[in-house]
Structure 1
Amino acid sequence: MQYIIAAIAYVVQIHTMNWDDLKIFLAVAEAPSMRLAAKHLGISHSTASRRIDALEDALNVRLFDRLPDGFRLTKAGEELMPTALSTDENLHSFGRAVAGRDDALSGEVRVTLPDAMLAIGCFTDLFIGFMDQYPDIRLKIEDSMQVFDLSKREADVAIRFTAAPPEHLIGRRLGNVHQAIYGAKDYLAEHDPHVAGSGARWIAWGDPVDCPDWVAHSPFPDLKIRGHFNNVQIQLSMIRKSAGIGYVPCLLADAYPELVRISEPEATLDVWLLSHRDMRAAARMRAFRQYILDRAPQIELALAGQAHKPFNQVTS
């Protein structure tokens, strides 16, 4: 924190300056010639000269005498040097301090997930495994349908349902959430939906209409809807209590042995692991991303309703 305060203090002192111009000022003041200073900075001689002119105009003072053998600091230029050098050192010190923290496997990683479906159905075991392996890294998990802005550091990592990730983010597709029709064993024994007149009913979601599109395109379009429940956990609870059959994510329903899958899984939503480009260098971020990606094959199987191994194991 002291580096930030010091850096800000110096920047306030030289608020009329452009930091790039100040770097050029230092390079010209310390180099044998303008040509060598420009070469060191990776810019042209004319650009360096023009930026020095701009800095002098901004400060309304001449910083260098232009002599046949090069640039020489004026009295004003000599008075600027201590402030310029201190500013340069403080900013570099701050950078080194931040780099040191970023290289440490500690600190906080904030993860946002769209809803409890992914957190409970797929990632809880992964989060536990990560915390066991990296005890000095704290996870902060936000379960929300809100789209967090990674560019504003509202979250470090986003696990999102999306078909087109934003271009300013980096990431990898983890798989696709598949859904299927499930019913409790006891319920299906009495109300087999494959049998006409079975009395089976849908546990539905969405707008309360008699036959939504997902029912119309299901293997059982003629079944009536018993109720609408716009929360997947409530739907699952209703299905498990033999209230009806439902079309739910496989990664959740497969966790309950009393439920039976009675249709083929269908692909619905892509799931991506995303983070901002500026955050990829931090060690804690690299560790979290790599931990998840090492387990991507199991995650993909789980999302598709084909999981057969614990999520916290790495596929060899």
Structure 2
Amino acid sequence: MNWDDTRIFLAVQRERTLRRAAKTLDLDQATVGRRIAALELALGAKLFLRASDGYALTSAGETALKSAEKMEQFANDLVRQSQGVDNRLAGEVRVTTTDSIAVEFLIPAIGRLHAVHPEVKVMLNTTTQLLSLAKREADVAVRTAKPENPDLIARRLARWPIGLFASKAYLKRHGEPVAGTAFAGHDLVVYQPHLSANRAHTLVGEPLQGGRMVSGVYSSLMLRAMIKAGIGMGELPLPFGERDGLVRVWPERSTAVPYDVWLVTHQDLRHTARIRALIDEIVAAFRQNA
């Protein structure tokens, strides 16, 4: 079982369909199907069963999976360790963060990096999903949670209080909410993942049940845009609300948990020149603008 066969096997196991696996591998679906059939023939074992919801591993497939994951780990380690001694200020760096952090901090950092080192290409992925640095899905992450993996190096870039914000136009129409009324008579916009995670349904400690839930969004940038448009009130880290010209409602209140921003990379990559150069620009962007 060579590495090329292994990555195809792992893609089918993770994506559950040939079509999705082919997309992640940048291959056509027929090729993936043929390679899986050839692998099963070479091993003399059926690795997958076709179920109603896609491909499912057989008992032989489960056994093969353990070895395949070890092979993947070794391959990723080899690439990271090779990159770790790369002194060229050229090549690709993959970065993942949220859309608001990208707009305010990473895009200016990338611009400054390009002005000095034009041969470095930054692939920016703005997503709420936690991409794996250990599996080389990204080289650098700017996250709002500190990772637990001991192989990752994390540096806190910022810690901001989270307050309640509204636009001037909204407050002119509706007035300020009265504390203790659970937002009675007011329109609210919320970051939906917080509600989906079964957190207490409050904004800066005030219950929501008296208010009208206008929208739940999955993007911090869209949350900011809705509050700025006067659609409703919502929670934001203080620097974002202030940058958008919003009014902080109940300035004495903030959430129990602040908004932390962490810069994360794998320890094998910390000395790679192009990654180090981008990290330095990101750190500078937070120092100047946070």
Query: Per the shorter chain, which TM-score range?
Result: 0.5 to 0.7
Q: Which of 208, 214, 224 is residue 236 of structure 1 equivalent to?
A: 224
Equivalent residue for 1:201? 187
Q: CA deviation at 1:226?
A: 3.3
Gap runs ≥5 in structure 1: 1-97, 303-316
- Partner Cα separation in structure 1 for residue 200 and residue 264 of structure 2: 33
Q: Which of 266, 273, 278 is residue 268 of structure 2 equivalent to?
A: 278
- Partner Cα separation in structure 2 for residue 271 and residue 229 of structure 1: 23
3-state DSSP class of the match of 1:102?
coil
Q: Which of 107, 114, 124 is residue 91 of structure 2 equivalent to?
A: 107
3-state DSSP class of the match of 1:254?
helix
Judging changes above 3 Å, is the alpha-carbon distance between structure 1 residues 195 and 160 closer, same or farther for their aligned structure 2 residues? Answer: closer
Equivalent residue for 2:144? 161
Report the structure number with the largest CA radius of gyration. 1
Question: Superposed, which structure 2 residues align to 1:178-217 within 5 Å?
Answer: 178-194=161-177, 199-206=185-192, 207=195, 213-215=201-203, 217=205
Pairwise CA RMSD of aligned residues? 3.2
Q: CA deviation at 1:169?
A: 0.9
- Partner Cα separation in structure 2 for residue 238 and residue 295 of structure 1: 26
The TM-score with structure 2 as length reference comes to 0.58
Gap runs ≥5 in structure 2: 1-81
Q: Which has the higher contact order (CA 8 A, sep 6+)?
A: 2
Judging changes above 3 Å, is the alpha-carbon distance between structure 1 residues 225 and 212 closer, same or farther for their aligned structure 2 residues? Answer: farther
The TM-score with structure 1 as length reference comes to 0.54
Judging changes above 3 Å, is the alpha-carbon distance between structure 1 residues 247 and 159 closer, same or farther for their aligned structure 2 residues? Answer: same
Q: CA deviation at 1:167?
A: 0.8
How many residues get paired? 198
- Partner Cα separation in structure 1 for residue 160 and residue 120 of structure 2: 29
Judging changes above 3 Å, is the alpha-carbon distance between structure 1 residues 100 and 224 closer, same or farther for their aligned structure 2 residues? Answer: closer
3-state DSSP class of the match of 1:150?
coil
- Partner Cα separation in structure 1 for residue 285 and residue 122 of structure 2: 18
Equivalent residue for 2:73? none
3-state DSSP class of the match of 2:243?
coil
Matching residue's letter, 1:108: E
Cα offsets for 1:101-134 (capped at 9, x unmatched): 8212111111111x21221233222222222222
Percent sequence identity is: 28
Judging changes above 3 Å, is the alpha-carbon distance between structure 1 residues 214 and 130 closer, same or farther for their aligned structure 2 residues? Answer: farther
Question: Superposed, which structure 2 residues align to 1:80-119 within 5 Å?
Answer: 102-113=86-97, 115-119=98-102
Q: CA deviation at 1:296?
A: 4.2
Judging changes above 3 Å, is the alpha-carbon distance between structure 1 residues 111 and 171 closer, same or farther for their aligned structure 2 residues? Answer: same
Matched, 1:268 2:254: no
Runs of 4+ aligned structure 1 residues displaced above 4 Å come to 98-101, 194-198, 220-223
- Partner Cα separation in structure 2 for residue 100 and residue 122 of structure 1: 25
Judging changes above 3 Å, is the alpha-carbon distance between structure 1 residues 176 and 137 closer, same or farther for their aligned structure 2 residues? Answer: same
Matched, 1:288 2:278: yes
